[in-house]
C-alpha cells in the first residue's frame, strides 16, 4: 500500500478569513479555491431550462396534465431508480395528475432499461405517456416499440449515450450530445428533480395551481429522496450535487423526511439528527438495492411512497431481511472468487491488469458487489459474470482511477464486432452481456485493452491523505468541524489524515474489528479510542507492534449519551 499526501497550493485561493485554515487546505486539495464554490444553498443551482431537452419535456407534460393523460414511470432497479421513481410519482400527483403509476419489472426477466419486452408489459396498463427515470438513453429498440404502439416516451437519464439516441418525444440527460448544462454529474434522481422543478415553474406561470385549487408543491420537500439517490449512486459530489445532498440531509436531520426514509434509518440504527452522507451510502442505499438485487425494487419504491409510518416500517424490515440474505450470498461468492484469483495472487507479477470472474451458480443481482469487493482488494478493474435467464452471461464491472470502464468496453466492442451483445454505464461501473462461449475471447480482449490503458503505477493501490494533524487538532471539535464541512463523497473524499501513534491497547471486538487506544508519539497522556473494521485476523492484533504509522479519519462516537472522539483507522503499518 502506497501512502501519499494530497498536494496543497493556497496561492490564488479566495476563501473567507473566517474559514478554518485546516478546511482551506482540505478544500483546495479537492479543487475548490474560492468561497463561492462552497455555497450549498439551492440558490446556487443552475437553472433547470439550461438542460437540453427539459423545455420539450415540460411542454409535453403541460399538454398531458391539461388532458389528464395516464402517466407510467419506468425506472431502474437500484436505489437511484427507486428514489427517482418515487420522486416522479409523488411530484406529478401533487401537481395534479390523477393517474400516475410506476413499473420496474424484475431485472432477471426483462433486463435493464426500457426494453421492447418491458414496453409490451407497460402497454397492458394503457399509458398515454411513459417517463423513464435513471434509464432510457440506450433504449433505442424499446422507444421504437412504444412509438409503434402509440405510446410517447420522455427519457430522463444520466448514463452515457451510445452512438444512436432513442426516438423519444424528449430526452433529458446532461450527458447527451450538445447539452451545455454546467454539470454532467447528476444522478438519475437529480435529473428527475430538475425536470419536475421546471414543470412546476411552468404550471406556476400558467396559474395552474390557483385554477385547480391545489397547493403549489414545494420541491424542497423531496430533497431527502434526491440526497439518498445521489449518494447511493456514487456520482461525483461536485458543487451542484453537494448542494442537493446537503439540503436533503438538513431535512432528514430535522425529522422532515419521508416515512420510508425514517423507517430505514430506524432499522439501520441511525440517529437522523447525526446523519451524514456516508450513512445514506452505506446504511440506507444497500437496503434499497437489496430488493432490486434479489427480488423486486418495487418493495423499495413502495417504502418510499407510503405516507403510513407503520407500513413504511414493515417495508423497511422486509428490505433489511433481503439485505441480510444478500450479505450471506455475497460472502459465499466472495470466498469462491478469492479462491479463483488466488492462482494469480501467489505471484503478483503474473496477475493480469484486469480480472474476469465467472462461476455458474453466482447470483446475477450480486455480481456487481462482488466485482467491487475484488477490485478493492487487488486494485484492478474487475468484471464478474453470472448466467442470465436466457443462458447468456450478464457481467458487472468496476474500475479503478485512470480507466473509464465504459469507454474500455466500447473499445473492446469496436475492435471485436459481435463479441459483446450490449453494454452501458459510467466511468467507474458498467454492465454488459455476452454469449457464454465468448467468455475467453472477452477476457483476453478486455485484459489487453486494460493493459494498454494503465501503467504499472496505476495498478498500485494508493491511500491519499490530507497529511498530519497537530495534537490540538485531534479533538471532538475538529471532528464536528469536518462533519459540518461536507457532504463528502465520490471525488470529494472525506478528510483522511496520517501520523505516528503508540498502541496502548488492542483487542478484537465483534468477529473481525480491531479496537485500539492510540496516543500520538511522544504524548502518551493523549490516548484516543480507535477502531479498524474488517481487519485481517491473521495479522492483527499484533502484540509486537509498538509505534505504528496510522491513516485515519476523525469520528464522534456516541455511547450512552456521551460523545467522544474516535479514530476510524484506514491503515496501520508498524514502524518497528
Whether residue 393 contacts residue 436, with contact meaning beta carbons closer than 8 Å, is answered with: yes
Percent of the chain with pLDDT over 90: 87
Q: Which domains does the chain show, CATH number per domain?
A: 44-318 (3.90.1640.30), 352-453 (3.10.310.30), 465-574 (2.40.50.460)
- Structure-block grid coordinates of residue 495: 478528510
What gap in Å lies between CA 553 and CA 477, rounded to an integer? 14
319 CA to centre of own chain: 18
Whether residue 132 contacts residue 75, with contact meaning beta carbons closer than 8 Å, is answered with: yes
pLDDT tier, 96 (very low <50, low <70, confident <90, very high otherwise): very high
Torsion sign (Cα): 329, 432, 236, 114: negative
Per-residue pLDDT, averaged over 117-127, amounts to: 95
Considering only CA atoms, which of 290, 298, 369 is closest in space to residue 337?
Answer: 369
Element (H, E) at 529: strand 528-532
Whether residue 425 contacts residue 159, with contact meaning beta carbons closer than 8 Å, is answered with: yes
For residue range 233-273, what is the model confidence (pLDDT) as tens digits? 999 999 999 999 999 999 999 999 999 999 999 999 999 99
pLDDT tier, 559 (very low <50, low <70, confident <90, very high otherwise): confident
Considering only CA atoms, which of 405, 335, 368, 447 is closest in space to residue 160?
Answer: 405
3-state secondary structure 182-231: CCCCCCHHHHHHHHHHHHHHHHHHCCHHHHCCCCCCCHHHHHHHHHHHHH
Whether residue 164 contacts residue 143, with contact meaning beta carbons closer than 8 Å, is answered with: no
Q: pLDDT value at position 425?
A: 79
State yes or no: pLDDT of 460 exceeds 80: yes
Name every residue whose Cβ is closer than 8 Å to that of residue 368 and which is 6 or more positions away in sequence: 293, 384, 396, 398, 429, 431
- Half-sphere exposure of 346 toward its Cβ, with a 13 Å CA cutoff? 4
For residue range 28-64, what is the model confidence (pLDDT) as tens digits? 999 999 999 999 999 999 999 999 999 999 999 999 9
Q: What is the dihedral of CA 240, 243, 248, 253, to 10 degrees?
A: 160
> What's this model's pTM, rounded to 2 decimal places?
0.93
Element (H, E) at 570: strand 562-574
For residue range 539-555, what is the model confidence (pLDDT) as tens digits? 999 998 889 999 999 99
For residue range 271-328, what is the model confidence (pLDDT) as tens digits? 999 999 999 999 999 999 999 888 889 999 999 999 999 999 999 999 999 999 999 9
Question: Which one has a higher pLDDT value, 379 or 108?
Answer: 379
- Determine the straight-line distance between the first and last CA of the chain, rounded to whole angstroms: 17
State yes or no: pLDDT of 563 exceeds 80: yes
Whether residue 226 contacts residue 86, with contact meaning beta carbons closer than 8 Å, is answered with: no
Count of C-beta atoms within a 10 Å radius of residue 427: 15
According to DSSP, the β-strands at 497-509 and 547-559 are antiparallel
Amino acid at each position: 500500500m502506497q501512502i501519499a499526501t494530497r498536494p496543497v497550493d493556497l496561492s490564488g485561493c479566495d476563501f473567507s478569513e473566517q474559514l478554518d485554515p485546516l478546511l482551506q487546505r482540505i478544500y483546495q486539495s479537492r479543487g475548490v479555491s474560492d468561497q463561492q464554490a462552497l455555497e450549498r444553498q439551492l440558490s446556487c443551482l443552475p437553472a433547470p431550462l439550461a438542460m437540453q431537452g427539459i423545455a420539450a419535456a415540460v411542454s409535453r407534460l403541460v399538454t398531458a396534465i391539461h388532458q389528464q393523460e395516464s402517466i407510467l414511470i419506468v425506472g431502474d432497479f437500484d436505489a437511484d431508480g427507486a428514489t427517482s421513481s418515487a420522486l416522479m410519482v409523488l411530484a406529478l400527483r401533487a401537481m395534479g395528475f390523477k393517474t400516475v403509476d410506476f413499473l420496474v419489472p424484475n431485472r432477471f426477466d426483462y433486463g435493464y432499461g426500457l426494453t421492447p419486452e418491458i414496453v409490451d408489459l407497460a402497454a397492458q396498463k394503457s399509458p398515454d405517456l411513459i417517463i423513464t427515470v435513471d434509464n432510457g438513453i440506450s433504449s433505442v429498440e424499446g422507444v421504437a416499440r412504444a412509438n409503434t404502439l402509440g405510446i410517447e416516451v420522455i427519457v430522463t437519464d444520466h448514463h452515457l449515450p451510445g452512438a444512436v439516441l432513442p426516438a423519444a418525444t424528449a430526452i433529458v440527460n446532461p450527458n447527451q450530445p450538445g447539452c451545455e448544462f454546467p454539470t454532467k454529474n447528476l444522478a438519475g434522481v437529480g435529473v428527475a428533480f430538475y425536470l419536475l422543478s421546471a414543470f412546476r415553474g411552468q404550471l406556476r406561470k400558467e396559474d395552474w395551481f390557483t385554477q385547480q385549487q391545489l397547493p403549489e408543491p414545494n420541491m424542497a420537500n423531496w430533497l431527502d429522496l434526491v440526497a439518498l439517490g445521489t449518494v447511493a449512486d456514487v456520482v461525483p459530489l461536485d458543487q451542484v450535487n453537494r448542494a442537493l445532498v446537503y439540503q436533503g440531509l438538513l431535512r432528514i436531520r430535522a425529522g422532515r423526511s419521508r416515512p420510508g426514509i425514517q423507517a430505514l434509518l430506524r432499522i439501520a440504527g441511525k440517529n437522523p439528527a447525526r446523519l451524514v452522507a456516508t450513512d445514506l451510502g452505506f446504511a440506507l442505499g444497500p437496503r434499497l438495492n437489496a430488493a432490486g438485487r434479489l427480488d423486486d425494487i418495487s418493495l423499495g419504491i413502495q417504502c418510499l411512497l407510503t405516507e403510513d409510518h407503520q407500513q413504511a416500517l414493515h417495508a423497511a424490515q422486509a428490505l433489511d431481511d433481503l439485505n441480510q440474505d444478500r450479505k450471506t450470498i455475497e460472502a459465499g461468492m466472495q470466498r469462491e472468487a478469492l479462491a479463483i484469483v488466488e492462482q494469480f495472487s501467489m505471484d503478483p507479477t503474473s496477475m493480469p491488469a484486469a480480472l474476469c470472474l465467472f462461476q455458474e451458480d453466482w447470483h446475477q443481482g450480486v455480481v456487481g458487489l462482488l466485482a467491487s469487493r475484488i477490485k478493492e482488494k487487488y486494485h484492478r478493474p474487475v468484471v464478474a459474470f453470472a448466467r442470465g435467464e436466457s443462458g447468456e452471461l450478464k457481467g458487472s464491472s468496476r474500475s479503478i482511477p485512470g480507466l473509464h470502464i465504459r469507454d474500455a468496453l466500447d473499445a473492446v466492442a469496436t475492435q471485436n464486432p459481435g463479441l459483446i451483445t450490449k453494454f452501458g454505464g459510467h466511468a467507474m461501473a458498467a454492465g454488459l452481456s455476452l454469449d457464454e462461449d465468448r467468455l475467453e475471447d472477452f477476457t483476453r480482449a478486455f485484459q489487453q485493452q486494460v493493459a494498454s490503458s494503465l501503467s504499472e503505477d496505476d495498478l498500485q493501490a494508493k491511500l491519499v491523505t490530507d497529511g498530519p494533524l497537530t495534537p490540538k487538532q485531534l479533538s471532538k471539535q475538529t471532528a464536528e468541524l469536518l462533519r459540518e464541512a461536507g457532504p463528502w463523497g465520490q471525488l470529494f473524499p472525506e478528510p483522511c489524515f496520517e501520523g505516528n501513534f503508540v498502541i496502548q491497547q488492542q483487542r478484537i471486538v465483534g468477529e473481525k474489528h480491531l479496537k485500539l487506544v492510540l496516543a500520538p508519539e511522544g504524548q502518551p497522556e493523549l490516548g484516543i479510542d480507535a477502531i479498524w473494521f474488517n481487519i485481517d485476523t491473521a495479522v492483527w492484533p499484533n502484540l509486537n507492534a509498538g509505534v505504528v504509522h496510522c491513516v485515519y479519519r476523525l469520528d464522534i462516537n456516541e455511547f450512552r449519551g456521551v460523545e467522544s472522539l474516535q479514530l476510524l483507522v484506514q491503515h496501520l503499518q508498524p514502524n518497528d
